[in-house]
């Protein structure tokens, strides 16, 4: 499909036969006067009084336990930049569609028009208890770090910034498999991350949580390597600044095992890839054009494994592999937060599923794909794999119960543990 044809198809999809992508579905009877007297006045007074007496009753008598608030200020819309909150609404509706389609979670999209982080935090904190969880979306770095930390502290429900942690979980899941194929261990490899925004920072943090030594992690921004001798670093960069003689991306990549790109198009030059260690792993996640295209990487060396964010290449890193199911598992045990243990559990569950045989019904969802087998061009499950929901949600729920952040026991209808 040409770019112009895609543009016209996308606009038509969003416009017709009804504008937008989501709506409200009534699932209780509303056909008789008795139905209405129960749904509204006078019957609705009974759950109101029950919730006033015990706030936890909201999970019993309302949709709170299956409802996600998707909130944004429109400051980092996909790869389009700061276009404002209203322009972000199609993306937020799209996110709601994905939550419903993959995890049967209802959503309300909230676009906040605010001047600074404090206003955003206050707005979301005041409405958060209406929901079972809060998904922060398309909020720019570095404000996103402050916002998420403050909301996690103030809100009684789990808060998750998908652009940070969803990307990190999917990258780490794919990396675990890629390293295994390459015969390497996470504890041994040198990782270079180009891009120190939300996704890059969260991925490095998750790698640390999974045992990657800090001295093996190098972050690179527009000024070069983030090192201990650079002054006036913001806290989220300073945590990865270490003593090193490396100053440029070329310095850092020489002999490195893993390149993680969350930056811009064509920034991994062929000669830099050639300087990396044997059997390198490349995550070139800039969209729509990656830091290096897979065919360009393979033209340089035949021992490389490449992942991108694009669906038209093998090994797509797609956040839909995790964020619906992270919330599904968290809400099903009424987790107060989403901690590192839950993220690690999600990454392992996704990685493990990619190693299993792929049923024919999943292949049917991908025209032209006749087989998928664990290997250099299949390190992550496909988004349409229905097994993801229970695998990831159950792993997250189990981790929440084990860490003590869950208010409910592991669900009886989940897989036995």
Residue 401: which CATH number? 3.40.50.720
Domain assignment present for 287 = yes
Q: Which of 157, 192, 227 is the last residue of a domain?
A: 157
Q: Which of 396, 398, 395, 394 is nearest to 414 (CA)?
A: 394
Q: Identify the pLDDT of residue 79.
A: 78
> Is residue 394 located within the same domain as residue 321?
yes
Q: What is the DSSP secondary-structure string of 84-125?
A: -TGGGHHHHHHHHHHHHHHH--EEEEEE---SSHHHHHHHHH
> Is residue 382 located within the same domain as residue 417?
yes
Place of tokens 């097994």: 387
> Is residue 234 located within the same domain as residue 93?
no
> Is residue 151 located within the same domain as residue 166?
no
> 367 phi and psi, to 5 degrees?
-55, 135
The residues assigned a catalytic role are 40, 95
Q: Identify the pLDDT of residue 287.
A: 87
What total number of domains does the chain contain? Answer: 2
> Is residue 176 located within the same domain as residue 118?
no
The edge-to-edge listing of strands for the beta sheet with 106-111 is: 106-111, 67-72, 133-136, 159-161
> Is residue 135 located within the same domain as residue 194?
no
Q: Identify the pLDDT of residue 13.
A: 94
User: What tokens does 130 get?
Assistant: 């209406």
Mind listing the pLDDT tens digit for each residue in 27-47? 999 999 999 999 999 999 999
Domain assignment present for 259 = yes
Mind listing the pLDDT tens digit for each residue in 354-396? 999 999 889 998 888 888 999 999 999 999 999 999 999 999 9
Q: Which of 157, 175, 202 is the last residue of a domain?
A: 157
> Is residue 90 located within the same domain as residue 23?
yes
277 contacts 268 by C-beta, under 8 angstroms: no
What is the CB neighbour count within 10 angstroms for residue 205? 19
Q: Identify the segments of the chain with pLDDT beneath 50.
A: none
Q: Which domain holds residue 284?
A: 162-417
Residues in contact with 262: Cβ distance below 8 Å, sequence separation at least 6, in sequence order: 167, 193, 194, 195, 197, 199, 200, 203, 285, 286
Q: Identify the pLDDT of residue 234.
A: 92
> Is residue 317 located within the same domain as residue 207?
yes
Q: Identify the pLDDT of residue 417.
A: 64
**Considering just the CA atoms, what is the radius of gyration of the chain in Å?**
22
Mind listing the pLDDT tens digit for each residue in 301-329? 999 999 999 988 999 999 999 999 999 99
Q: Identify the pLDDT of residue 412.
A: 94
Domain assignment present for 352 = yes
């Amino acid at each position: 499909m040409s770019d112009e044809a895609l543009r016209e198809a996308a606009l038509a999809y969003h416009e017709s036969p009804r504008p937008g992508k989501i709506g409200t579905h009534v699932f209780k009877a509303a056909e008789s006067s008795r139905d209405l007297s129960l749904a509204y006045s006078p019957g609705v007074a009974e759950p109101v009084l029950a919730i006033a007496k015990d706030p936890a009753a909201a999970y019993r008598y309302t949709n709170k336990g299956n409802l996600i608030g998707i909130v944004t200020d429109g400051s980092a819309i996909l790869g389009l930049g700061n276009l404002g909150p209203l322009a972000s609404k199609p993306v937020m509706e799209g996110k709601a569609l994905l939550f419903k389609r993959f995890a049967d979670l209802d959503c309300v999209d909230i676009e906040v028009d605010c001047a600074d982080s404090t206003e955003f935090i206050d707005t979301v904190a005041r409405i958060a208890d209406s929901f079972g969880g809060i998904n922060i979306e398309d909020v720019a770095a570095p404000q996103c770090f402050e916002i998420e930390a403050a909301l996690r502290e103030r809100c009684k429900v789990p808060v998750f910034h998908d652009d940070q942690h969803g990307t990190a979980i999917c990258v780490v899941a794919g990396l675990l498999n890629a390293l295994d194929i390459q015969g390497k261990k996470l504890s041994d490899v040198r990782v270079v991350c180009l891009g120190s925004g939300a996704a890059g920072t969260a991925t490095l943090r998750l790698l640390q949580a999974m045992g990657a030594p800090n001295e093996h992690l190098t972050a690179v921004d527009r000024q070069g390597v983030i090192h201990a001798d650079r002054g006036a670093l913001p806290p989220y960069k300073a945590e990865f600044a270490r003593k090193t003689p490396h100053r440029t991306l070329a310095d850092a990549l020489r002999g490195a095992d893993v390149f993680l790109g969350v930056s811009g198009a064509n920034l991994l030059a062929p000669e830099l890839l050639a300087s990396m260690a044997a059997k390198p792993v490349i995550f070139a996640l800039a969209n729509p054009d990656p830091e290096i295209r897979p065919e360009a990487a393979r033209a340089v060396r035949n021992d490389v494994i490449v992942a991108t964010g694009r669906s038209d290449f093998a090994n797509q890193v797609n956040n839909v592999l995790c964020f619906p199911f992270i919330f599904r598992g968290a809400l099903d045990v009424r987790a107060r937060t989403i901690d590192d243990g839950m993220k690690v559990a999600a990454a392992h569950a996704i990685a493990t599923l990619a190693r299993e045989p792929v049923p024919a019904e999943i292949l049917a969802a991908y025209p032209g794909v006749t087989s998928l087998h664990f290997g250099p061009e299949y390190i992550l499950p496909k988004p349409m794999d229905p097994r993801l929901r229970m695998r990831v949600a159950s792993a997250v729920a189990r981790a929440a119960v084990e860490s003590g952040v869950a208010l409910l026991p592991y669900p009886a209808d989940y897989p036995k543990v």
